[in-house]
Structure 1
Amino acid sequence: MTDNPLLYPGAAHPDLREPMIADLVRTFYERARLDDVIGPVFAAAVTDWDDHIAKITDFWSGVMLRTGRYNGRPMRPHLILPLEGKHFDRWLDLFEATAREVCAPDIADAFIVRARRIADSFEMARASQRGEFAAPRHSLR
């Protein structure tokens, strides 16, 4: 793993580094696990928290720094979970609050823009799976 931003062409922000991503993910999941709305969903779905946090750190590293470390397919697990709009709303509320606490404002904004797009994508895929239509709700705020 490298922390040299010159090795990440297309990074979301020139000051973003791997330790900040790891701190954001770890802090978010500490809060999410205790949350009344999304905590039970995570508790039922995640059996190895260390592995999950490492995987999601790789995911965000790929999204934000273009590292290519994440090889998974994030949509599939979300399609089999019993997720509703309230879960996506709460995930975003917690993620945005954590990003604003852990990151400088412009870096937090870069995370939040992408998180909102991801939430919309997952929500629209879940609706499509049920034969319904869903318009983006989060990325348009």
Structure 2
Amino acid sequence: MQDIRNIDDIKQMVNSFYAKVRQDDFIGPIFNEQIQDRWEVHLEKMYGFWQTVLLDVRAYSGSPFPPHARLPIQKEHFDRWMTIFTQNIDEQFAGPIADEAKWRAEKMAEMFNYKIEYFRNANQKPLS
């Protein structure tokens, strides 16, 4: 198995991951309801995001948290997202960049979960 090396690998990683997410009984309905018919736009955004994070190519700008702030999700949803993400990477890639992708995803899931819980508990409106 090879490591994640270029935009084609990023697209393979993103497309295969979201194909699994969309079919998942637990988190699929949340993604499908939120994204609806905008999957192509979402996937393009994810290509840019992961290309920026993993390959140091400035292909994404913006703040990834606000679109997630009001979703009806909890730690269990992030755990399932992480399980699918990790399995998807491990099925296709091996190497330091693949490991970095899993580490970055885990840190993002932890941060998003923490921030969502903070805003819920503080009864505040999240940043948008």
Does TM-score exceed 0.5, indicating one fold? Answer: yes
Q: Distance in 2 between matches of 1:19 and 1:101?
A: 16
The one-letter code matched in structure 2 to 1:124 is: Y
Q: Which of 7, 10, 14 is the aligned partner of 1:25?
A: 14
The Cα RMSD (Å) is 1.6
Runs (4+) of structure 1 exceeding 3 A deviation are none
Identity %: 34
Question: CA 1:15/1:56 → structure 2, altered by over 3 Å: closer, same or farther?
Answer: closer
Provide the aligned length of Structure 1 versus Structure 2: 119
Q: Distance in 1 between matches of 2:45 and 2:4?
A: 22
Structure ranking higher in helix proportion: 2
Matched, 1:64 2:64: no
Question: Paired residue for 1:78?
Answer: 68
TM-score for both structures, normalised by structure 1: 0.79
Question: Paired residue for 1:42?
Answer: 31
Q: Which of 110, 120, 124 is the aligned partner of 1:120?
A: 110
The one-letter code matched in structure 2 to 1:25 is: V
Output one character per residue of 1:74-109: Cα deviation in whole Å (capped at 9) or x when no partner.
100111111111110000000000011121243321
Displacement of 1:15: 6.0
Say if 1:20 and 1:102, in contact at 8 Å, map to a contact too: no
Name the structure, 1 or 2, with higher relative contact order (CA <8 Å, separation 6+).
Answer: 2
